[in-house]
Amino acid sequence: DGGITQSPKYLFRKEGQNVTLSCEQNLNHDAMYWYRQDPGQGLRLIYYSQIVNDFQKGDIAEGYSVSREKKESFPLTVTSAQKNPTAFYLCATYGWRTSGSDAYEQFFGPGTRLTVL
């Protein structure tokens, strides 16, 4: 089954520690994204990558870093510089739909809920 895996589902860290969120996809999509969602809010783009070894900052990249060494993987590191890292993090790809009407679609992983204590 093709899809996006994010692990772990829940993550707890102490303030001041860096933490890396995993995102793996087997959809063979070139474009990958990281979003942050705060309670009652929409999705805000952190970083996105259109191809291996290339990525661009989104609207709220400060305090975050990414790498794209393989097509399948796009890990996100939340650094200690991020002032308020507690949030729900969603990884996504972009590609052609596999069912339903012909269209492109943004596919999402199940998300990681990060809590910094």
Partner 1 sequence: AQKITQTQPGMFVQEKEAVTLDCTYDTSDQSYGLFWYKQPSSGEMIFLIYQGSYDEQNATEGRYSLNFQKARKSANLVISASQLGDSAMYFCAMRPWGTGNQFYFGTGTSLTVIP
| Interacting residues with partner 1 (CB under 8 A) | 31, 33, 35, 40-45, 48, 50, 56, 58, 88, 90, 92, 94, 97, 100-101, 103-108, 110-111, 113
**From the CB of 108, what's the least distance to partner 1, in Å?**
4
**From the CB of 70, what's the least distance to partner 1, in Å?**
18
Hey, what amino acid is at 14? K
CA distance 112 to 43: 14
Q: Which residue, 89 or 116, has its beta carbon nearer to partner 1?
A: 89
User: What DSSP letter does each residue of 25-76 carry, written as one string?
Assistant: E-S--SEEEEEEE-TT--EEEEEEEEETTEEEE-TT-TTEEE--SBTTB--E
**From the CB of 16, what's the least distance to partner 1, in Å?**
26
Q: Which residue, 14 or 53, has its beta carbon nearer to partner 1?
A: 53
**From the CB of 80, what's the least distance to partner 1, in Å?**
25
C-alpha closest to that of 63 among 79, 51, 49? 79
